[in-house]
Each structure stands twice: as structure tokens, then as C-alpha cells.
Structure 1
């Protein structure tokens, strides 16, 4: 990899870290715009996670926004994919006593719906 590509990759990594992991805003970027964009990305993740795991959204109740923000802020990077994000968020709530333990082997109704085709 050339030196220019390596520097570009590092710079891109700093931008991504600022957007999704609370990293320092790189020089030359507007901190307020980065904060707004970061909040938007967290909101998008939260909405998708709530659709994948409505039981987790219901367990968080009116604290969903705050709980998901705390969950997202506690991770250096988001999990690989929305399903993993949804499962991790449910585990986050469970660890905090906000959600009951799942029965082993019991498949959630919505997971069957998500995995079934047309």
C-alpha cells in the first residue's frame, strides 16, 4: 500500500470513529455537524434494532432513546450487522434487569417472520 493510501485510510478511520464510536473529531471537520450526523446514525440503528427486536424496544419503554444511546456509546464500534446489534442491545437490557431472560430454544415470533421469504 502506498504512503498516500495508508494516510487516507487512517484519516477515513478517524472520521468513522468520530461518527460511530465517539472518537475525536478530525481536524478540518465541523464538530457540531459531526455530532448531528453521529446522532442521526445512532437513531437509524435504534429504529432498525427496534424493528428487529420489538421486545427489546418494549422493555426499554420510554427510555429507549437514552438506553440505546448509552448502549451505542459503550462500544468502540457497532456490531457487524443489524441483527447482531439487536441481539447485543437485548443482552445490554437484560444485564441491567430491564428485560427478562429468554427461554432456551424458544424462537421469537418475529424472528420467524424475518427469516421467512415471500
Structure 2
């Protein structure tokens, strides 16, 4: 198999795992769905570790809300976790799951 073919197949697999794409030839679609769910839960745990205040504010709602968010907006392979977390926070605020912050992010960054 050529490098180009291998890269194409890897991209198909990542698309299936991270973005609910179709299962590539030779892969069991049901097994890929299970693996995709595992990866999303793992990413949710990583995000909760990186942003404990967010997980604390949401409590038991954190897991289900993160699953709902990722179902509509899967993380891209090359996307940084921090940017994805920021989108999750925006989604939570826009959906009424978190209150809108009193101060803008830029104001908080200037004070550091």
C-alpha cells in the first residue's frame, strides 16, 4: 500500500471516529460507533480535567451536555482542545445551560 493510500485510509478512519463519517471498507460500523463514543467520553474527561470549574458548575449535567454538544459538533482531528472547550462553553451559554459571564474574556486576560 502506498503512503498516499495509507494516508487516505487513515483520514477515512479518523472521519468515522471523530465526525460520524461512514465506516471505511474493512471496518465494522457498529464497532466504530462504540469506539467513537469511547473517544468522546475520554475527551470529555480530559476537558473536565483541564477546566474543572466548568465540570463543577455543571455537576451531573456535564457528561450528558458534553455528549449532546459532541453529537452536533465533533472535534476535528487537528483541532486544539482549548479551542474546542471554548466552543463548548459558548454552546452552553447560548443554550442557557450556563449564565453569560459578567466580564468579557478580553477583560480577564488583560488583568493577568
TM over 0.5: yes
Determine the C-alpha separation between the residues in 1 that align with 2:31 and 2:53: 33
Structure 1 residue 84: Cα displacement: 1.7
Contact 1:46 1:68 in 2 (8 A): yes
* TM-score under structure 1 length normalisation: 0.75
Query: How do residues 95-106 of structure 1 correspond to structure 2 at under 5 angstroms?
Result: 95-102=94-101, 103-104=103-104, 105-106=107-108
**What is the root-mean-square deviation of aligned Cα atoms in Å?**
2.3
Structure 1 82/67 Cα, relative in aligned 2: closer, same or farther at 3 Å? Answer: same
- Equivalent residues, number: 106
Q: 1:19 matched to which residue of 2?
A: 17
* TM-score under structure 2 length normalisation: 0.78
Q: 1:52 matched to which residue of 2?
A: 50
Q: 2:27 matched to which residue of 1?
A: 29
Q: 2:89 matched to which residue of 1?
A: 90
Contact 2:22 2:29 in 1 (8 A): no
RCO comparison, higher one (Cα < 8 Å, 6+): 1
Structure 1 residue 93: Cα displacement: 0.4
Determine the C-alpha separation between the residues in 1 that align with 2:90 and 2:15: 23
Where does the alignment leave 5 or more consecutive residues of structure 2 unmatched?
Answer: none
Deviations 1:73-101 (A, max 9, x none): 22254372222222121111011011122
Q: 2:62 matched to which residue of 1?
A: 64
